[in-house]
Structure 1
Amino acid sequence: MSPLSITDTAFARLDAEGRLVNSVLKAPTKKADRYGFRGDIALKFPARLADEARPPEISSDQIIATAKAGEPTIEFLAGFLLSFDYLKLVAEVLGDLLSPTGKYFFFVDNIDISKKYVCEYGGATFHILPIDEATVYNELLELLYLEKGALKKLDTAGKTDAIADKAAGFSASFPKISFEDGVATMGPVRNLYENRPV
């Protein structure tokens, strides 16, 4: 039996479009028929000059996602968004790769730190959460009640399986927010590069 390839999964189009960047995992996980991706998803590319490959203008970073072989949609995806209104790009870029039954989480930099929402948009349901100076990985462990110590011995693929499995059973009664209301109430977009040494 040939090993599971990304072309057998819902990640195939994103990979072909060059959107799966900075990957630390892009391989089958420990679970049969499951493929995992950890890295960034490019949401918007700058205009290309000749053959120059430039970094994405907008991306969703710290992505942790899984898809099953032969299934048309991504079953689980979590990531960081600098701005709530980038959710529109997520819905446009991922489009038919999102499922009404998929579990999707975004930790958003410019929403009120005390708020958590559910936003139905583009045919999918997104859990929108603040990010509290931590990583998506750490925030997910806290949200899903996973012990960091229990995952310590696992490799990246094993950790991804553990998170995806726990996320599959996640349900929360966060207040619903429309995309338009989310955009209206979001804060300013932070410049990630200010205060950094040049």
Structure 2
Amino acid sequence: MTTTIDKTAFARLESEKRLLNSVLKAATKKPGRFGFRGDVALKFQTQLADEARPPEISSDQVIAVAHEGEPYIAFFAGFLLSFEYIKLLAEVLGDALSPKGKYFLFVDNIDISKKYTVDFGGATFYVLPIDESTVYNELLALLYIEKTELKKLDTAGKTDAVADKALAFSASFEKISFEDGVKAMGPVRNIYENRPV
């Protein structure tokens, strides 16, 4: 029996149409595990009639897994444009967060030399700067995974390999409160500037 999304903690997010632009939304190679790679909508734009608009705020480049029969997302990593969006993310994920899960957020507007742990919404987040790279590449570096090790794997297999390492990850970064992080964060970059219209 293949694990389907409705048997995992992704079910509510899927029903709320928050799982967007997926390159993976399927059972992985590990029995009982479901993987998602794509974007998670955190705040929707007001929609007129039946037009489809991109979300106002999202967590992009998400890599996440959940296990059948567990009420929480076991591993989640994603990009956030602003540190203060952690609150939105925690609200959207809600009861899919757990103290047992491993959650990594690569945030655009924190000091490039800092790494934090932030407790929020009943979970602990590892909050790291994003160094002009992708969440995937940042994770490989953080978890000491060689790209060559993953070369022969498909998207589901790569997701498993990253998730397995992430679930075993433990590090003690500077612990800060959400409020202190908001005070210390830099301005939010406009991701649309310097782009041809």
Q: Give the AA of the match of 1:23.
A: S
Structure-2 residue corresponding to 1:27: 26
Structure-2 residue corresponding to 1:107: 106
Shift of 1:101: 1.1
Structure-1 residue corresponding to 2:9: 10
RMSD, aligned CA: 0.6
SS at the partner of 2:175? Answer: coil
Per-residue CA distance 1:75-134 (angstroms, 9 max, x = gap)? 000000000000000111000000011000000000000000000011000000000000
Cα distance between partner residues in 1 of 2:51 and 2:133: 33
Structure-2 residue corresponding to 1:38: 37
Structure-1 residue corresponding to 2:173: 174
Cα distance between partner residues in 1 of 2:151 and 2:182: 38
Structure 1 spans left out of the alignment, 5+ residues: none
Which structure 1 residue ranges, 4+ long, deviate > 3 Å from structure 2? none
Cα distance between partner residues in 2 of 1:132 and 1:9: 32
SS at the partner of 2:29? Answer: coil
Structure-2 residue corresponding to 1:189: 188
Shift of 1:27: 0.2
Cα distance between partner residues in 2 of 1:6 and 1:121: 25
SS at the partner of 1:104? Answer: strand
Q: How does 1:117-136 map to 2 (within 5 A)?
A: 117-136=116-135
Q: How does 1:80-91 map to 2 (within 5 A)?
A: 80-91=79-90
Q: Give the AA of the match of 2:108.
A: D
Cα distance between partner residues in 1 of 2:23 and 2:98: 25
TM-score scaled to structure 1, two decimals? 0.98
Structure 2 spans left out of the alignment, 5+ residues: none
Cα distance between partner residues in 1 of 2:52 and 2:75: 29
Deviates more, 1:139-148 or 1:43-52: 43-52
Structure-1 residue corresponding to 2:150: 151
Shift of 1:47: 1.0
Q: Give the AA of the match of 1:41.
A: V
Cα distance between partner residues in 2 of 1:132 and 1:80: 11
SS at the partner of 2:31? Answer: coil
Shift of 1:168: 1.0
Cα distance between partner residues in 1 of 2:45 and 2:30: 37
SS at the partner of 1:66? Answer: strand
Q: Give the AA of the match of 1:33.
A: G
Number of aligned residues: 197
Structure-2 residue corresponding to 1:138: 137
Q: Give the AA of the match of 1:45.
A: F
Identity of aligned residues (%): 76
TM-score scaled to structure 2, two decimals? 0.99
SS at the partner of 2:105? Answer: strand
Q: How does 1:158-169 map to 2 (within 5 A)?
A: 158-169=157-168
